[in-house]
Chain A
Amino acid sequence: MTTLALIDYGSGNLHSAERALRAAASLAGSDIVIDVTSNAGRVARADRIVLPGVGHFADCAAGLRAVDGMTDTLEAAVISGGKPFLGICVGMQLMAEWGLEDGKTPGLGWIAGDVRRIEPDKGLAVPHMGWNGLVLQQDHPVLKNLGDDPHVYFTHSYAMVPANQADIAATADYGGPITAAVARDNLFGTQFHPEKSQRVGLRLLANFLNWDPS
C-alpha cells in the first residue's frame, strides 16, 4: 500500500486538493491512500507528497514553518529522499528561493529564482484569473495525455521567475510568457489549480500519482 501525504498547514485549497486527488486516484487506477496531515512523521513515511497553497506567499511560508518539524522533514524526504513532490499554486511558489510579496520572504530554496508580481502590459487585469492554455516547455510525464491545447484554471497575482530556464515545464501567455509549471528531478509544481481544472486537471494529478522520477 502506498500513501500520499497532503500537507495540512491551514491552506484554503486543502479540501479541494484532497477531493481532486481522490478522483485522480480512481482515474489512475491507483489504490493510494491520501493522508491529509500536519504531522511531520507521517509526511516522512509517505511515498508521495503534495503541498497545496493559496493566497499570500509570506502567510503560507509562515504557516508551513509553524508546523513542528515540517520544513526539515520536507528537506529530508524530498531533496535527500527523492520522493515525488507536487506543489500547487503558492505550494509551488514556496519551492523558490524568495517570495517578493510584501517584503522579501525566504522560500524552501529548491528551485533557484524568485516569486514576483506579474506586470502584464496592454491593460491586462491582475490577478491573472481564468482559463489559459498551457505551452509545454518540457516533455514531462506529469504533462502527458492532457489533450490538444490543454487549458487550466489560474488565479494569481505573483508568479515564479526561475533562474534556470531548464526548470520551467510549462508557460502560459499573459502579455508574455509566465511560469505555469516547474519541474526538476523529483520536483513538480503548478502555478495553476489542477484541482479546479476539470478533466485536464484530474489527468495531470493522475499522472503525478503514476510518476516514477527515480
Chain B
Amino acid sequence: MLKTRIIPCLDVKDGRTVKGINFVDLRDAGDPVALAKAYDAQGADELCFLDITASHEGRGTMLDVVRRTAEQCFMPLTVGGGVRSAADLVQLLRSGADKVAINSAAVANPAVITECAAKGGSQAVVVAIDARKSGDTWEIFTHGGRQPTGIDAVEFAAEAERRGAGEILLTSMDKDGTKSGYDIPLLKAITETVSIPVVASGGAGSAQDLAPAVLEGGANAVLAASIFHFGEVTLAEARQALADAGAPVRPFET
C-alpha cells in the first residue's frame, strides 16, 4: 500500500534557511544541508526546498545547497522558487533535485508546464498553487501570495494535469501561518478534480492536523514547515498521529 508522505519544507535565502529553526543538537541551525540531514535521519519521506533568493548570486548558492544535500541524503528532493523555464528545471535536476516546483511562471504562462514535462518527464514537474477563498471558489495568487490573478484554482489544477504536471503542491493562503489545520474544502475540491497526487500545504499546527488532509481532503502527502523546524512536532510523532488516525505511513526505525 502506498504510504502518506511527510514532507518538511525549508525556506532558503542566499544559502541559509530563513524561517525559525530550533533543532536540538544542531550546531549550525541555519545551514539547510545540516537540516536536511537531520530530517533524513528522522525519516522524512521527502524534502522540499523553497528558494526565496532574489539575487542571481543566490541562485548559484541554491544550486550548491541542492548538490550538497543530494550527496548526503538519499531521498526525494523537491526544489521550488523562481523556476521560470525548462532550462531552470534542467539545471536543478542536474544539481540533484528530483522534482521541481513551478509557481508564478506556470500561472503566467502554462506552456511552461508542457515544456518542463517534455524536458524532465511528468514525474519531475510539480505545479505549486497558492490559493485563497473568493466567494464560493478559490483564486490563485502569485509572487509569494501578494498578487491576485483572477484564475480559478480548481480549473488551473486541471489544466496543469492536462499539460503534464506530475503533482500539485497546494497551499492555502487563508490557512498558511494560522496553525489551525489544512484547508480541507480546498483540498477536496482539487483532489476530486485531478487524478495526479496532491500535496497539502498551509495551516498545520499540530500532529493531529495531518490526518484530515489525507482522510478527508484526499491529499497524498502533507507538507509543513514551522511545526517541524521549531521541534513542536517530531517526524516520529507525525507518523504516529497519522497511523493512529488510520492514514498509512512508512515504517521507520531511527
Contacts and interface: CB of A to CB of B under 8 A. Distances in A.
B196 A131 contact: no
Given A15-B94, A54-B124, A129 B195 contact: no
Interface in A157-189: 157, 173-174
B220 interface: yes
Interface stretch (A40-48, A66-74, A107-115, A191-199): A191-199
Interface residues of B, number: 34
A197 B45 CA distance: 9
Contacts of B70: 15-16, 19
Interface stretch (A80-88, A147-155, A206-214): A147-155
Given A149-B251, A196-B98, A156 B123 contact: yes
B167 interface: yes
A22 to B, nearest CB: 9
Interface string B1-33: 111110000000000000000000000000000
A148 B124 CA distance: 30
A130 B221 contact: yes
Given A12-B120, A15-B96, A16-B96, A125 B197 contact: yes
Contacts of A132: 1-3
B121 interface: yes
Interface in B43-73: 43, 45-46, 70-71
B75 interface: yes
A97 to B, nearest CB: 22
Interface string B166-207: 110000000000000000000000000001111000000000
A149 B4 CA distance: 16
Contacts of A124: 2
B2 A198 contact: no
Main secondary structure of the interface of B (DSSP, over half): loop
Contact of B197 (A127, A147, A193): A127
Nearest to B76: A196
Contact of A201 (B74, B166, B167): B74
B162 to A, nearest CB: 14
A133 interface: yes
Contact of B220 (A16, A125, A151, A198): A125
Interface string A15-59: 110011001000000000000000000000000000000111000
Q: Tell me the dominant secondary structure on chain A's binding face.
A: mixed
Interface residues of A, number: 39
B124 A12 contact: yes
Contact of B122 (A19, A151, A157): A157
A20 B235 CA distance: 24
A76 interface: no
A157 B98 CA distance: 16
Contact of A23 (B46, B74, B94, B167): B74
Contact of A126 (B76, B121, B195, B221): B195
Contact of B40 (A156, A174, A198): A198
Given A15-B94, A19-B70, A130-B220, A153 B196 contact: no
Interface string B113-128: 0000000111110000
B250 A131 contact: yes
A43 to B, nearest CB: 22
B166 A129 contact: yes
A202 interface: yes
Contacts of A128: 2
Contacts of B253: 147
A162 to B, nearest CB: 22
A158 to B, nearest CB: 11
A6 to B, nearest CB: 15
Interface of A: 12-13, 15-16, 19-20, 23, 54-56, 123-133, 147-149, 151, 153-157, 173-174, 193, 195-198, 201-202
7 contacts: A12-B121, A54-B121, A130-B3, A130-B221, A131-B250, A153-B75, A155-B123
Given A55-B124, A127-B166, 12 more contacts: A12-B124, A15-B70, A15-B94, A19-B96, A54-B123, A125-B197, A126-B196, A129-B197, A131-B45, A132-B3, A157-B123, A174-B2
Top 5 A-B pairs, shortest CB-CB distance:
A55-B121, A155-B123, A125-B197, A131-B250, A131-B3
